[in-house]
Amino acid sequence: MLQTPFGPLYVYKNKEQVKYNISELPLKPIEVSNYKVDARYMIEIDKSQIKSGDILTFIIDTNVISQYDGGDCLVEAMFESDDLYLAIGGYDISDHIGQQNFAYSFSVIKNGLEAKIIDLQYIDDFSVAIAWSDTNKEDYYTAVWFAADPYI
């Protein structure tokens, strides 16, 4: 289980806790930039554990309420305190190899992200990214925003 500065990250499928894989990602999401975070991970769910109609939730056990952020297809749950900024990010997958087919849809909930699985045939893998940074760094917001993008 991943321990974040705000609390542990839990993943549920239809309100039942599930195991997930954690892999570290480079702290600089864009190599040619100065953006750097304190921690960055990929959270992966084994595709064989999910089916169409499932609801996956990624929840941090904290009293800090998440705020919505993102852009285009990116959906991020942002958590902020006086000295820390954290984001969990996922993509609404709606275009697979040029077709307009929906695989899953993300939304921000009180303490994390929720993904509704629509059509498993369009899902190659399922992952979200999580990153955090101290707020005393220059460009901490932008660094975390990019670092919580699972496709960077």
The 3-state DSSP class for residue 16 equals: strand
The pTM of the full predicted model, rounded to 2 decimals, is 0.88
Average pLDDT on 8-31 reads 92
In a domain, 152, yes or no: no
> Could you read off the pLDDT of 59-108 as tens digits, one per residue?
999 999 999 887 777 889 999 998 999 999 988 765 445 555 567 788 89
In a domain, 109, yes or no: yes
Tell me how far CA of residue 119 lies from CA of 21, 64, 73, in angstroms.
Answer: 22, 32, 17
Domain residues for the domain of 30 are: 3-147
What's the domain count of the chain? Answer: 1
Provide the token pair at 97: 């190899």
The 3-state DSSP class for residue 116 equals: strand
In a domain, 94, yes or no: yes
Tell me: pLDDT of 25 over 60.
yes
In a domain, 136, yes or no: yes
- Number of helices (H) and strands (E) in the chain: give both, helices first: 1, 12
Tell me: pLDDT of 134 over 80.
yes
In a domain, 19, yes or no: yes
